[in-house]
Amino acid sequence: MTFNIRCWLSSQEAQISCGRDRILRLMRQAGLKAQRGYRAPKGYYGGIPDVVTPNALQREFVVDEPNQWWVSDITYIHTHEGFLSLAVVMGLYAHNIVGWSMSERITDELVLDALTAAYWRRKPERAVQFHSDQGSQYTSRRFRKLLTEFNIEPSMSRRGNCWDNAVAESFFSNLKKEKIRRTKYKTRDDARQAMFHYIEMFYNPKRRHTTNGRQSPADFEQQHFEKLESI
């Protein structure tokens, strides 16, 4: 439950003794419920075997260092002007968004821009492994060519199986719970500004993750580099 976990983490930061069970009990007394990003899954689907690129990730979402694995996905945002598409590239080590792009259309240009932003932002010294679904944007000739140019090795989920890319799906779930579903955007520019603020001003530098030892992506990754310097 997102809300009571966040309250529990905030109480720890403020050095207030308050466990998660107590937070849950207080929420029930106040009639509060946690938000869901998506409806509960209806069942498990095995998916069609890979036909483009094998699934090298195999749901091993815990990695040893930054820029070892990147995962990517696309979602769309409702505005009064129409849809705005958002593509993100996430680093699996700290769950930080290392590249992203937005467009009115869901074309391969959208993911090309997101991957290019990630590459030049991170400037990896070794080959990176990149996982996505089998959407037409990721299987396009231009995108596969860009992967080769950047020395990035592709991996793809089975068709119809969102669990193979669960970490990227989880980011979009949190984005919708915490930002998108609270606001009715009038224009695409309003949505663009909101996404920039969420990713760069909140999610990467501040949002805590239990998988990061309750640290933000930026702090967790910085801790890794500080350990390397001390060796």
- Residues 81-102 pLDDT 10s: 999 999 999 999 999 999 999 9
On the question of pLDDT at 80 being above 70, the answer is yes
On the question of pLDDT at 151 being above 70, the answer is yes
How many structural domains are present in the chain? 2
| pLDDT of amino acid 32 | 66
| pLDDT of amino acid 36 | 52
On the question of pLDDT at 172 being above 80, the answer is yes
Q: For residues 198 and 194, what is the distance between their CA atoms, to the nearest angstrom?
A: 6
pLDDT tens for each residue of 215-230: 999 999 999 999 888 8
167 and 87 housed in the same domain: yes
6 and 74 housed in the same domain: no
Q: Are 185 and 196 in contact (CB under 8 A)?
A: no
CATH of the domain at 192: 3.30.420.10
195 and 82 housed in the same domain: yes
Q: Indicate the pLDDT class of residue 132, thresholds 50, 70 and 90.
A: very high
Closest by CA to 104, choosing from 191, 199, 194, 198, is 191
* Largest interatomic CA distance in the chain: 57
Q: For residue 19, give both structure tokens.
A: 């466990």
Going from the C-alpha of 114 to that of each of 23, 102, 156, the distances in angstroms are 38, 8, 17
79 and 29 housed in the same domain: no
Would you say residue 1 lies in a domain? Answer: yes
Find the mean pLDDT for residues 149-167: 94
pTM of the predicted model, to two decimals?
0.80
| pLDDT of amino acid 31 | 67
82 and 171 housed in the same domain: yes
98 and 32 housed in the same domain: no
On the question of pLDDT at 35 being above 80, the answer is no
Q: Which residue has the higher pLDDT, 44 or 180?
A: 180
Residue 211: domain span:
69-230
By residue count, the chain amounts to 231
